[in-house]
């Protein structure tokens, strides 16, 4: 007890030290009297004992709640730091311990090969450096290959981070939804090509696409301006609120408009007591559920950036703003809004860079197809109009599995097929379009739609049975015009009316449209002939008849470099008359190799 009282007695202050004059050298601290003191890690009390600072209580190790730090009771060696530098280290360590850690992410795990490169170099004379040099000189892995490996690993780790869980992802599980459609009765916002009933039917189709989502009720409320704070007038809003609150087990409201501002969404959720979704949110969720490739997931992550920015403003309004530092203390500082905006900008830049790398890879594949001179045909149309079903019917590819749902295809896929002349072509399946989609969402998929600009022909598929088929056609043509496609590509579009088998007495509404049934195969031969005629015009290919010697290499060359339609053998003189479809470049090479061949225009 006496010893305890002695310890609890006031500690005498350490002896004062004479400070050096300005400009003079600072005396080094005695190694035995100063120890490394990162801060109160062990939770004990600081004591001055004989001029040395100690802790009461144990320190934390690697298995404890905090990071492992040097034991404060161990004195520093002869090369100890100056007292001012030691104090700065203490402040930095304390700041690191007190800093919030919710921003931090674990570093990606590296393979053993990468860890081996981080080992200490071999001392001279042990053969370590010579082994590395010799391995590289003998055809082994050199430093450049190691650097490329590290870059690839970093790119993969960064890509995995970008493709991680989305902060906007809706909660998994069942949703019981009420669809509310604000019907604009007059003014420029009213579309003459549709009705409120058809628009809400499309909203129901969007909800039915999602698994475990159920529509409890469909409500149409008139409004003059859907951009108002509460979307509807005061009386209509009160009636709508009463209807929503009477619905049993309701979990969300789908407001059938393009975008709802963060302020409006906050007010509506407060009034109705459930989540509120708009078309942008629902379509993004469908995309997220159907995305399979890295490119599709990256484009979805890019489309989420505007929503994240909008939600950020609402979140900032609920927080106290951080006060910036003065010109003398702590620098300029960043508010919460500035920090989050900077993080979003960095994320957007990373996503765009990753998409640019994927775009370069696709450009390389496109160049290889061009070298082989395969004509490319883009099959486009409104969502769920039968594009994939048509490509399967034209190519006979068993791997294609069409689905009766919206946005089943989110990626550009290429499929080989043959025309009646045996000419090989590539059909490109593309993402479908939808009415009332914000421009940001379409722009995010520009990397996918970019492929259309490099095709030779566009086939526009229309679901002719849909009551809004005219509006759907206008939507598709509007998107195509916004892609800045070449004029000759827009002028040569082949329009296809699909699902005519569901109409008893079909009458074509457009002069040059082709009536087909992709599911049952009706009208496909006429479609192939029309495609072949347009492809020959677009690519400049020629139909020629060439006399070749059967003993020479001409026939095998034509089979390799052109499309051979028919061969008529003439055994009396050992020749054959070959009808081919050949490109201008291949025809020029043929004339240079075989200048004495007889050629006839078909």
Mean pLDDT of the region 158-162: 72
| CA atoms of 440 and 446, how far apart (whole Å) | 10
Mean pLDDT of the region 547-551: 89
Provide the CATH number for the domain formed by 373-538 in this structure.
3.40.50.300
Contact 374, 351 (CB under 8 A): no
Instruction: Give the DSSP letter string of 140-163.
Output: S--HHHHHHHHHHHHHHHHHHHHT
117-131, 330-344, 481-495: which range is least confident on average?
117-131
Rounded percentage of the chain residues whose pLDDT exceeds 90: 23
- Hey, CA dihedral for 395, 396, 397, 400, is it positive or negative? positive
Query: Which among 538, 452, 447 has a CA at the least distance from the CA of 491?
Result: 538
Q: Torsion angle of alpha carbons 536, 542, 544, 549, nearest 10°?
A: -120
Look at residue 318 and tell me whether its pLDDT is greater than 80.
no
pLDDT of the residue at 55:
43
Which CATH superfamily groups domain 541-601? Answer: ACT-like. Chain A, domain 2 (3.30.70.1150)
pLDDT of the residue at 48:
43
Query: Which among 275, 247, 243 has a CA at the least distance from the CA of 168?
Result: 275
pLDDT in tens, 216-254: 999 999 888 777 777 888 888 899 999 999 998 999 999
Q: How many residues does the chain have?
A: 602
127 or 513, which is more confident: 513
| CA atoms of 256 and 180, how far apart (whole Å) | 6
| CA atoms of 244 and 269, how far apart (whole Å) | 11
The secondary structure of 579-597, three-state, reads: EEEECHHHHHHHHHHCCCC
Contact 194, 220 (CB under 8 A): no
Would you tell me which CATH number, out of the four given (3.40.50.11060, 1.20.140.10, 3.30.2230.10, 3.40.50.620), belongs to the domain 175-288? 3.40.50.11060
Contact 175, 214 (CB under 8 A): yes
- The model scores a pTM over 0.75: no
CA distances from 407 to 296, 381, 478 (A): 12, 11, 19
pLDDT of the residue at 500:
93
Do 175-288 and 373-538 come out as alike in CATH topology?
yes
Rounded percentage of the chain residues whose pLDDT exceeds 70: 65
pLDDT of the residue at 341:
84
161 or 473, which is more confident: 473
Residue 322 makes CB contacts below 8 A (sequence gap 6+) with 333, 334, 335, 336
User: CB burial class (10 A; 0-12, 13-18, 19+) of residue 398?
Assistant: exposed
- Hey, CA dihedral for 520, 526, 529, 534, is it positive or negative? negative
Residue 224 makes CB contacts below 8 A (sequence gap 6+) with 184, 185, 187, 233
Break the chain into its structural domains and give their ranges: 43-92, 175-288, 291-322+333-363, 373-538, 541-601
* Arithmetic mean of pLDDT over the chain: 75
| CA atoms of 443 and 11, how far apart (whole Å) | 71
Mean pLDDT of the region 56-77: 43
């Amino acid at each position: 007890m006496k010893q305890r009282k002695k310890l609890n007695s006031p500690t005498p202050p350490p002896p004062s030290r004479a400070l050096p004059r300005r400009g003079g050298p600072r005396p080094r601290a005695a190694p035995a009297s100063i120890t490394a003191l990162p801060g109160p890690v062990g939770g004990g009390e600081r004591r001055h004992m004989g001029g040395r600072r100690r802790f009461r209580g144990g320190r934390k190790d690697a298995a404890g709640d905090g990071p492992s730090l040097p034991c404060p009771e161990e004195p520093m060696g002869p090369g100890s730091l100056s007292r001012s530098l030691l104090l700065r280290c203490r402040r930095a360590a304390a700041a690191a311990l007190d800093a919030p850690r919710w921003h931090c992410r674990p570093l990606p795990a590296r393979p053993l090969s990468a860890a081996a490169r981080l080992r200490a170099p071999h001392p001279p004379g042990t053969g370590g450096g010579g082994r590395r040099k010799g391995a590289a000189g003998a055809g082994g892995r050199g430093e450049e290959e190691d650097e490329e490996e590290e870059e690839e690993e970093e790119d993969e780790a960064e890509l995995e981070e970008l493709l991680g869980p989305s902060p906007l992802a809706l909660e998994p599980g069942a949703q019981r939804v009420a669809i509310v459609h604000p019907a604009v009765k007059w003014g420029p916002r009213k579309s003459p090509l549709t009705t409120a009933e058809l628009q809400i039917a499309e909203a129901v189709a969007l909800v039915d696409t999602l698994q475990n989502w159920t529509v409890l009720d469909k409500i149409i409320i008139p409004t003059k301006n859907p951009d108002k704070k509460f979307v509807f007038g005061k009386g209509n809003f009160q009636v709508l609120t009463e209807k929503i609150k009477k619905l049993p087990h309701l979990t969300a409201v789908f407001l059938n408009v393009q975008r709802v501002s963060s302020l409006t969404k906050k007010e509506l959720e407060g009034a109705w007591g459930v989540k509120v979704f708009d078309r942008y949110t629902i379509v993004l969720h469908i995309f997220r559920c159907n995305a399979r490739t890295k490119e599709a997931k990256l484009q979805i992550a890019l489309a989420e950036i505007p929503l994240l920015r909008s939600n950020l403003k609402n979140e900032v309004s609920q927080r106290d703003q951080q006060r910036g530092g003065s010109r003398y203390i702590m620098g300029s500082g960043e508010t919460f809004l500035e920090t989050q905006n900077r993080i979003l900008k960095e994320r957007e830049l990373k996503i765009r860079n990753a998409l640019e790398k994927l775009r370069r890879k696709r450009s390389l594949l496109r160049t290889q197809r061009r070298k082989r001179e395969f004509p490319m045909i883009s099959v486009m149309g409104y969502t769920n109009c039968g594009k994939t079903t048509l490509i399967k019917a034209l190519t006979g590819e068993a791997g294609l599995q069409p689905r009766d749902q919206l946005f089943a295809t989110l990626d550009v896929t290429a499929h080989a097929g043959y025309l009646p002349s045996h000419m090989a072509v590539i059909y490109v399946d593309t993402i479908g379009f939808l009415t009332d989609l914000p421009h940001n969402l379409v722009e995010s998929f520009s990397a996918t739609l970019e492929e259309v600009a490099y095709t030779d022909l566009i086939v526009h598929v229309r679901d002719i049975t849909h009551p809004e088929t005219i509006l759907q056609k206008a939507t598709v043509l509007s998107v195509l015009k916004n892609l800045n496609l070449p004029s000759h590509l827009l002028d040569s579009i082949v329009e296809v009316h699909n699902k005519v088998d569901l109409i008893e007495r079909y009458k074509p509404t457009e002069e040059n449209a082709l009536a087909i049934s992709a599911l049952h195969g009706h009208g496909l031969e006429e479609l192939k002939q029309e495609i072949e005629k347009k492809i020959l015009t677009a690519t400049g290919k020629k139909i020629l008849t060439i006399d070749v010697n059967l003993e020479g290499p001409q026939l095998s060359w034509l089979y390799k470099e052109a499309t051979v339609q028919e061969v008529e053998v003439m055994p009396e003189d050992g020749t054959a008359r070959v009808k081919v479809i050949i490109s201008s470049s291949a025809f020029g090479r043929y004339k240079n190799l075989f200048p004495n061949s007889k050629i006839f225009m078909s």
